[in-house]
A and B are shown apart, each in its own frame.
Chain A
């Protein structure tokens, strides 16, 4: 009785599916047959009532075939106002702006003593595309950054040796004992210096490559169809004006206000906001560093 019910249902489905392409018809009937088989194999469908419920839940064969016809490649033009198949959403590749900013600050940015490099470290640790090992590597090779080392090499005098001339009793002049002041890195000094200068750039390259690889494994970022002019409200314009023109008119205060506006806006990603903050941080601190350096001299 139960088998008859199923056979009857499948026969009705097969008849209804005659309107489909032959391979689609076979496929559909096979899938429904599998469904019934799976349901019965799961043990929950034994008696006649359960089988009838199962078939009821599957629905009327005509309805199933109608659903299959909707997806046919060739369909009569749909009347206006009905559901249209979804279009692929516009997307963009995940950008690694934050990571690029971090590596730039860790290497080239170290020209601004300590501050540039420190902001680079903050960005480095705020990225989720690097592992802790990556971040430690970026931080420890080399603390302060390559250009800080270069600056140190210029500012701190190397080993200066001098010898006083001694006039001996017989009138001849000979060199006295040589005295040296300053620091020296020993015979490996040049090698260590080259390492300090080059290694951060190599590490930076490796870090960028890893960030790119990991970013490419992330799903592409959907771009809202209405993005563009509607993204820009008063807040965004205020932020840009304060950050740009404002810093000339009211130094320090205007850029900070602009930054607050930028962080309050939803039009930019947090990555973009971090980059703006990092660049502004360097910009704000550069004059301070220059003034302090001038005072020391």
Chain B
């Protein structure tokens, strides 16, 4: 039994979370495409093909979560910079809240196996 990459449930999970990781990287400062993609690519277990981040970036732009601008660079050709928009921040903070709940629940379940019943009030 060897799960194929496309069948791997973690692939689905990564795909859902990736766009918020992009937004999180842009929270403090704007970044140009190559820098952004490299940072994501360097995170262990985040993306297997860096090229797939570009379609994601243009989707985020169409959704109005990031904006882009061309800026001259000291070395080489001009760069397309990505910046987070207010709508993107809004989406990110919403995700942060949900992610925390989700992560804590999964962690608790993985650690205790749901042995501790009930909920804290």
**Chain A interface residues (CB < 8 Å from chain B):** 13, 24, 27-28, 31-32, 34-35, 37-39, 41-43, 57-61, 63-64, 66-68, 70-71, 82-83, 86, 88-89, 91, 219-220, 222, 224-225, 233-235
Contact = CB atoms under 8 A, between A and B. Distances in A.
B9 to A, nearest CB: 10
A42 B16 CA distance: 31
B15 interface: yes
Nearest to B47: A59
Contacts, number: 111
Nearest to B61: A27
B91 A70 contact: no
Nearest to A64: B51
Contact of B58 (A43, A58, A71, A225): A71
A83 B16 contact: yes
Nearest to B49: A59
A222 B50 contact: no
B94 interface: yes
B45 to A, nearest CB: 14
A235 B121 CA distance: 7
A127 B57 CA distance: 38
A42 B75 contact: yes
Given A37-B76, A222-B93, A224-B97, A71 B56 contact: yes
Given A59-B49, A83-B16, A219-B89, A38 B55 contact: no
B77 A37 contact: yes
Chain B contact residues, majority secondary structure: helix
A83 B15 contact: yes
A24 B33 CA distance: 17
A220 B55 contact: no
Contacts of A88: 90-91, 94
B100 to A, nearest CB: 11
Contact of B55 (A60, A70, A219): A70
Contact of A220 (B52, B58, B90): B90
A175 to B, nearest CB: 77
Given A67-B56, A235-B121, A59 B93 contact: no
Nearest to B12: A83
Given A34-B34, A42-B34, A59 B50 contact: yes
Interface in B17-39: 19, 32-34, 37
Nearest to B35: A38
A28 B32 CA distance: 15
B91 to A, nearest CB: 7
